[in-house]
Chain A
Amino acid sequence: MDALTVDRIHFAFTATFHYLFPQLTMGLALLIVVLKTLAIRTRDEHYDEAARFWGRIFGINFVLGVVTGIPMEFQFGTNWSAFSKAAGGVIGQTLAMEGVFSFFLESTFLGAFLFGEKQLGPRLHWLAAFLVFLGSWISGFFIIATNAWMQHPVGFALNNDGTFRLTSLAALLTNPWAIWQFLHNMMGAMVTSAVAMAALGAFYLLIHQFEEFGRTFARLGVIAGLIASLLMVFPTGDRQGRNIARYQPVALAAMEGLFEDQRGAPLAIIGQPNVGARKLDNPIVVPDVLSFLTYRRWKAEVQGLLEFPSDQWPDNIPLLYYAYHIMAGLGTIFIAVFAVAGWLLYRGRLYDTPLMLWALMLLAPFPYIATTAGWMTAELGRQPWLVYGLMRTEVGSSTRVSVGNGLFTLIGFMGMYAALSVLFLFLIYLEIQRGPGGAEHSGPQAALAAAD
């Protein structure tokens, strides 16, 4: 294994693990605002209790998001120093802006939300929930803007020594790639949290505990999930796809396993890309659909991989192809499940259809797989570039960090994160078992209440 491979796996592993937590908190933040709004509208303590319960789940996720997020900001320097030196003047802006504009907001008002309900009163408590939501979405935006610059660089100029300098912060923040990627990503986060809520509601209904809350969670989860999963495909997924077609046509060809240039290009549903033979093995395709999706014309020409020099192909085409198909396939399944669940909800039969409740409950892990596959699609599709078309991945890593040291810290992170996973699941399990409701908790609030 060479140092570059270690550095790539290092970042991929820590980033993937990190993102398991923010995707839930970003979505959940909005759902908690919805619950708090319902509580104020209906003056029903039930919704406040539900918001408190999800606040506790949020809190655990948030802590893990924070502690696994700190290494991300440092890793640009530790493992990708050549890239940082070249691009820091540009992407350092958005990363620092995230710290200044979002972290303070989020961390301060999360504290207020979790610990200050009594002092704040209902309206200010709602505001605290809203500011946490705002902070988490701003944070997401700055990270996506950073990534978007690497996918589609804008607002910069090249210096003589090969480094980049920022020429327009406005261009950096209004990067068309960033806008659609952000919305698509946030809809993904909404689906994750909606599925989590619906799944837990279904679980409570199936075990006949906390059933009143189970119904609220299932109802809210299904409605939010249906809306978000539809928005995830159209317009956000669609526009994201067209951005890829426009700015990274070679990545699009690899995602679809399209080798030959084609008019009326087909959409591959299933098949295995065979890079050696330059073809898609055992394909099941729908003719003309790819052309239509990309250019809105059934017979439009879509460029195949062979149109591009092979040193510009993404370096792992099969993985990219599978990641993209898993993401798209799961997205379709989410819509189908939520459509059926939504129809049952409308007919008033959701809560006593065990088969549907089972389906919702078992759906819980799949949004995580879909978002991970989605990010793999984005990042593998960017290869072989670190900064698209300008800086190749192999020149970006730290020159003085040896393979052994990189591997050592990678394994260290794997061990640390394995322990964190166990801890996380254990604490979440405890919260789910305690459930929402008026019973005394030994969570942080109770500890403070005891100390008060």
Chain B
Amino acid sequence: MIAIFAVLDGFDLGVGIIHLLVARTDAERRVLLQSIGPVWDGNEVWLLAGGGTLFFAFPAAYASGFSGFYLPLMIVLWLLILRGIAVEFRNHIASPVWTAFWDVVFAGASALLALCFGAALGNVMRGVPLDANESFFLPLWTNFRIGPDPGILDWFTITLGFASVAALTMHGALWVAMKTRGELQTRAQHVASPAWTIVVLLTVALLIIVPLTLPRFALRYADRPWGLIFPVAALGGLAGVKVLSRAGRDPAAFLCSCVYVLTMLAAAAFGHYPYLLPAISGAQSGLTIYSASTSSYGLRIGLLWFIPGLALAGSYFLFAYRGVAERLDTKT
């Protein structure tokens, strides 16, 4: 669920990040928004559905995590509010001041959200200081080190935050390149190319840093080497992005980018398993999918409606995406 959110909302966040960079005129910006317009709030729904699923399947992790990450979550909520109204209200008044204002809000909130989601993943991977009640409260930052007294922002989570911004920038630029023609497409490709270089550097750095700083990950991969397929596939996806966008095959390049985002998250999830929220200090080892899950009846009945429900949602989605399937440009 979170992975689907990352792939889908990932590109519309990315579109937001490059919004000011790629599209210079009002007409161009409208085309960009049009490319995500019919789908962005559907994409965001995956985040809500993910939150709801965490709530019913792992109530203990939901309760502990959401209250512990109180401050950053509130910031994320405010950013989501700003971003949502920026997309929707921008075109209500045709005034250069009005649209320019919302364009900046949209781009700023998108970039900050990408940073926040990366940092959030970093926090969950690193672990938190759980108390005897399985609760914690993290300040926004302490000494920027992964010590016994961590903050939301430390060097590790910030690195992940930037990696997330870079990856989603690339992802969004590839989406725009696929969806548009002419100058917009060229400019999007010009953004995607340096973003790709940064993503490669950060990905390689992360693949080295994570097992070194979080021995849990190293042990898990040593124990089950087949898991290495995920990071390898991620690198393969990156290579594919480069080769295919050089060859001018934008849809395939975007698909490779999806593979990259998915397998990077899968790699993190594989290394993280079975933890949901590991403890960084104290007597507890942390919340695992066993200790935090709800009753087996709840899980079983949940799956029973969840699968048909998602199939239904998927069918609406195909319907909506078919609507934006054609390429857009400022002239047509």
**A and B interact physically:** yes
Contacts of B31 in A (CB 8 A): 451
Within the complex, the shortest CB–CB distance from A433 to chain B, in Å, comes to 12
Which residues of B have CB within 8 Å of A108? Answer: 42, 316-317, 319-320
Q: Looking across the interface, which residue of chain A has its beta carbon closest to that of B316?
A: A108
Q: Which of A63, A99, A107 has the most CB of B within 10 A?
A: A99
How far is it, in angstroms, between the C-alpha of A68 and the C-alpha of B88 when the chains are bound? 14
- With A88-B294, A451-B328 in contact, is A400–B67 under 8 Å at CB? yes
Query: Which stretch, B33-41, B142-150, B228-236, B258-266, touches the partner chain A?
Result: B33-41
**Across the interface, do B42 and A78 meet the contact criterion of CB distance under 8 Å?**
no
A–B complex contacts, Cβ < 8 Å, 7 sampled: A67-B80, A85-B134, A88-B294, A104-B313, A116-B323, A444-B92, A451-B27
Contacting residues of chain B (306-332) with chain A, CB-CB under 8 angstroms: 306, 309-310, 312-313, 316-317, 319-320, 323, 328, 330, 332
Q: Tell me which residues from 47 to 62 in chain B have a Cβ below 8 Å from any Cβ of chain A.
A: 48-49, 51-53, 55-60, 62
From residue 156 to 187 of chain A, which have CB atoms closer than 8 A to chain B?
159, 163, 165-167, 169
| Contact in complex: A400, B55 (CB < 8 Å) | no
Cβ-based interface call for B270 (8 A): no
Nearest Cβ on chain B to A169's Cβ, whole angstroms:
5
Secondary structure type dominating chain B contacts: helix
A306 on interface, CB distance cutoff 8 Å: no
Let me know if A416 is at the binding interface, CB within 8 A. Answer: yes
Contacts of B53 in A (CB 8 A): 92, 96, 99
Q: Are A84 and B56 in contact (CB under 8 A)?
A: no
* Interface check B305, CB cutoff 8 A: yes
Interface membership of B284, Cβ < 8 A: no
Query: In the complex, are the beta carbons of A85 and B63 less than 8 A apart?
Result: yes
User: Chain A at the B interface: mostly helix, strand, loop or mixed?
Assistant: helix
A96 and B49 form a contact (CB under 8 A): yes
Are A400 and B136 touching (Cβ within 8 A)?
Answer: yes
Expressed in whole angstroms, the minimum distance between the Cβ of A78 and any Cβ of chain B is 5
**Once the chains are docked, how many angstroms separate the CA of A430 from the CA of B95?**
14
Residues on the B chain within 8 Å of A122, using CB? none
A336 sits at the interface (CB 8 A): no
Which residues of A come within 8 Å of B, CB atoms?
59-60, 63-64, 66-68, 70-71, 73-74, 76-79, 81-93, 95-101, 103-105, 107-109, 111-112, 115-116, 119, 159, 163, 165-167, 169, 398-402, 405, 409, 412, 416, 420, 423, 427, 430, 442-444, 446-448, 450-452
A442 and B93 contacting across the interface, CB-CB below 8 Å: yes
Number of chain B residues close to chain A: CB under 8 A: 71
Say which residue of B30, B55, B71, B320 sits within 8 Å of A451 (CB atoms).
B30
Residues of B within 8 Å of A409, CB to CB, are: 70-71, 74
Query: Which residues of the partner chain B approach A423 to less than 8 Å between Cβ atoms?
Result: 85, 89
- Of B67, B94, B135, B310, the most chain A CB neighbours within 10 A belong to B67
Give the residues in chain B near A412, CB-CB below 8 Å. 74, 78
In the complex, which residues of chain B have a beta carbon less than 8 angstroms from the beta carbon of A89?
A: 56, 59, 294-295, 298
**B294, A92: Cβ atoms closer than 8 Å:** yes
Q: How far is the CB of A143 from chain B (nearest CB, A)?
A: 12
Contacts of B30 in A (CB 8 A): 447-448, 450-451
Give the chain B neighbours of A398 by CB distance below 8 A: 67, 70, 135
Q: Which residues of A contact B88 (CB under 8 A)?
A: 59-60, 63, 444
User: Does the CB pair A78–B70 fall under 8 Å?
Assistant: yes
Contact in complex: A71, B77 (CB < 8 Å) = yes
Residues from chain A with a CB closer than 8 A to the CB of B38 are: 111-112, 115
CB distance from A448 to the nearest CB of B (A): 6
Smallest beta-carbon distance B91→chain A, Å: 4
Contacts of B63 in A (CB 8 A): 77, 81-85, 88
Residue B66 at the chain A interface, CB threshold 8 Å: yes
Q: Which residues on the A side are within 8 Å of B135 (C-beta)?
A: 81, 398-400
Q: How far is the CB of B32 from chain A (nearest CB, A)?
A: 10
> How distant is the Cα of A66 from the Cα of B37 in the complex, in angstroms?
15
Is there contact, CB below 8 Å, between A77 and B62?
Answer: yes
